[in-house]
Amino acid sequence: MKIGRYIADKMYAFIIGGFSYLVILLMMFGFKVDKSLIIAVSIVMFISAILVLIIDIARKKKFYDELVSNTEGLDKKYLVLETIKKPHFYEGELLYDSLYDIDKSMAETVNQYKISIDDFKDYIEMWIHEIKIPISNLTLIMHNHYHDSRVTNQIKRIEQYTEQVLYYVRSENVHKDYLINNVNLNKVVSSVAINNKDSILENNIEFSVNGCDKVVLTDAKWLEFILNQIMSNSIKYKKDKQSKIAISAEEEDDKIILSVHDNGIGIKESDLPKVFEKSFTGYNGRVKSKSTGMGLYIAKQLCTQLGHKIKIESKINEFTKVSIIFKKNNYYDVVR
């Protein structure tokens, strides 16, 4: 609380007090009161006014300074009432009680929205699991009867976008769904390759795997989804001829690095810092194909929550390399 602002705010009281003192002074002179009594009364009134001002400032300044300081220091500013005591002056009590009621009302409203969002997420998850059945049936029908690659590819895209929605819905609460185990990278990479084999063959992409006979601590299901998103981008932004995608793993000190390297159209240098941002499509997403900009964003969120790092390197018209960095087992043992 700034004392100068406080005194300026009380100016009306000083004006009224000064006017009242002049009236009293004139009355005492009019009644021919002894000068010594006038001086004594003036001193008492002046000292009383100063004491009232000092005491009022002392009581309010501590509370308001603490309120402002604690509010500025909090990320969640609505929790400020938890950090201060209820004041013992009337204005402060009114403010404190009002803030308490506001916070309570806000918490109840937020809770209602949270319940509504959770219900919506539950419905979306249920809907996705239900929609997967007809998608799988359509895929089987196409493989067994029609063999139309165009239709199969469109069904595959529907399936991928459906999976993306499911993992996006779960990404905020991944800790409730993942199971950290020793996972052989070869097994996950093989599953990803099988999942993308039709696209790889159709686009004549040279696909290779090297050094993936390593074990990392992760959740196999979530890692498979992350790799599928990376592979999907590599296929989508391939070169027209002699396209290559290579998955490799290497060991460095306390970490294992799994990389997906392609010789595709690459990413503009100006776009690289933003590729993990939500809904960012960049130059490639506008000129090559329609893109949601969600794949790498979700992959980044999942990696963060699983304790992995993900980074991307690229040069326009030359290559793109996405790396997932796993800490070795002894790192997790120390954390535990």
3-state secondary structure 237-281: CCCCCCCEEEEEEEEECCEEEEEEEECCCCCCCCCHHHCCCCCCC
Distance, CA of 143 to CA of 151 (rounded, Å): 10
**pLDDT given at position 103:** 87
HSE-CB at 92 with a 13 A cutoff on CA atoms is 19
Q: What pLDDT score does 287 carry?
A: 55
User: What is the predicted pLDDT for the residue at 248?
Assistant: 95
Query: What's the pLDDT at 308?
Result: 93
pLDDT for res 335: 44
* Local structure of 294: helix, strand or coil: coil
SS3 311: strand
Q: Distance between CA atoms of 314 and 319, rounded to whole angstroms?
A: 6
Q: What is the pLDDT of residue 336?
A: 42
Q: Which CATH architecture has domain 178-335?
A: 2-Layer Sandwich (3.30)
- Apex 222 CA angle, 335 and 123, nearest 5: 115
Report pLDDT for 323.
96
Q: In the prediction, which pLDDT does 7 show?
A: 77
Per-residue pLDDT of the chain (336 residues; tens, 9 = 90+): 777 777 787 788 888 888 888 888 888 888 888 888 888 988 988 898 889 888 888 888 888 888 888 888 888 888 888 888 888 888 888 988 998 898 889 888 888 888 888 888 888 878 887 887 888 888 788 777 777 777 877 887 888 888 888 878 777 665 566 788 899 999 999 999 998 888 888 889 999 999 999 999 999 989 999 999 999 889 988 888 889 999 999 998 889 999 999 999 999 888 898 999 887 776 665 555 556 678 888 899 889 888 899 999 999 989 999 999 999 865 444 444
Nearest of 332, 322, 325, 303 to residue 181 by alpha carbon: 332
CATH code 3.30.565.10 region(s) in the chain: 178-335
